[in-house]
Each structure stands twice: as structure tokens, then as C-alpha cells.
Amino acid sequence: MRFDVITLFPDLVKDSFNYGVTGRALTSQKILLNTLNPRDFSNENNGKVDDRPYGGGPGMVMQPEPMIKAIRQAKSESKNPYTIFMSPQGNIFNQAKAEELSDKQHLVIVCGRYEGIDQRIIDSEVDEECSIGGYILSGGELPALIVMDSIARTIEGVLGDADSVKTDTFSDGLLKHPQYTRPESGSYGDVPEILLSGDHESIRRWQLKQSLLKTRKNRPDLLEIRSLNDEEQELLEEILREEQG
């Protein structure tokens, strides 16, 4: 997987890949990363890439020519680039989208700044707009890093344990069950006895019930769109009976 990021702050992106899972993936060449700064494609001596918006309004808008030149340079690095623009107006990015985008061989990720980018950039160069949530940030770099980290985790060989992806929150449409490690007990609480029992089937069922419980409490919308199997329905009914006393 190759990532090309169009950004006014390339060091912000590149420095983030010095750590953790994405850093190891980059070192092992499971992923490739390149950044392009639109200022390098500006015709202005000072590298200007923004101007006042037509029709009035606050702030500045990123100009089309430097951005389009940078995007097209990035696209020229492969035969099948796919371009996404990080935007609060885009489709919500989720685990399913991460897995979908991981099938692409080359992602060009466009990061805006100021009040946004000229619409002609989107119309001519962008395949999809993506949002990480219903709030505003100063630019697209942090959302781009989130997208790349999420996608990288789904690529074979990136995680040390391939089963980690299968058990992550959202991997099966439920939130992840609580997790514990040593010590077994302390002034801050004890590890549930069932996890110390060695009974793998009972542990699996307990973890599934806890996932359903947490999802119902924190993200009930996920249960509304999920088809529960017989065991999950049975456990959910058990949870409801316990709540009703």
C-alpha cells in the first residue's frame, strides 16, 4: 500500500510515522509514504497557495492550481491511484471503509487548510470525500493520520498477531469486551474470576456478553443495524432480564 499525502505540513505527517504500528510497517515496507507540499507547485515567489473566497466570507481558500499540480504528481506514481479528500462534508470513515480502502494499491490523501479548498479541486481530482466525525479541525492532517493508521492495521503482516484485527472493536460490529492483565487483584479491583478459570468456552461466552453489554450502553445504534445470531440474541435477553431485576 502506498500513501501520498498532499499537505502544507509534510513534517507533521512524516514524523508521526516514526512510532508504533505505522512506523514498523513503514520500516518493513508493508506501506510506503510520500508527501507533497502544494507550496512547491505554486507560481508565486513566496509559495502562496491561498486567496480570498469569491462571493465574500471569512478566511482564505486554497487555490486550485498548486493543489491540482501536487495531486497529479502524486497520481503519476501508479496506474490506479484513488484520491480521497479529508473533509467534514465527506462520508463518515469507519472500520468497513478502512477495510474497503485497504484493497487500493495507492491512496492519494488531500489535506485542506484555512477555510477549505477550491471546489474545482474536488470536482476534477477527488474520488471520494471522507470525514472522521461531525466536528471541525484546523486541517486534514490529523484525520489523514487516523485514516492511514486504521488502514495500515488491516494490511497483512503489519500487526505482529494477525488475530488482533479480528478481535478489535468494530471488527464484528460490536464494541470490544473489557480486558485485564496482571496483577490479579489490588486496591483498585480484581480480575473477574471467570477469566482465571481456564474454561475457554465460558470465557468466550462471557466476553461476548460483555461486548453486547458495552455496545448496548455506549453505542446502541450498532445493535439496531446488526443481525444478531441465536447466541447473541440469547445473551442480550439475559442482559435485559438482569437489568429489570
- Phi/psi for 28 (5° steps) reads -85, 0
Instruction: Name the catalytic one among 38, 81, 125, 153.
Output: 153
Furthest-apart CA pair in the chain: how many Å? 73
For residue 51, the cross-strand partners are 61
Instruction: Name the catalytic one among 53, 168, 172, 226.
Output: 168
Given its phi and psi angles, is residue 98 left (phi above 0), alpha (psi -120 to 50 degrees) or beta? Answer: alpha
Please indicate whether residue 4 is annotated as part of the active site: no
Instruction: Name the catalytic one among 115, 129, 149, 172.
Output: 115
Question: Is the torsion defined by CA of 15, 19, 22, 26 positive or negative?
Answer: positive
Please indicate whether residue 129 is annotated as part of the active site: no
Number of CB atoms found within 10 A of residue 203's CB: 16
Instruction: Name the catalytic one among 88, 99, 172, 219.
Output: 88
Please indicate whether residue 11 is annotated as part of the active site: no
Please indicate whether residue 128 is annotated as part of the active site: no
Q: Give me the active site residues, please.
A: 88, 115, 153, 168
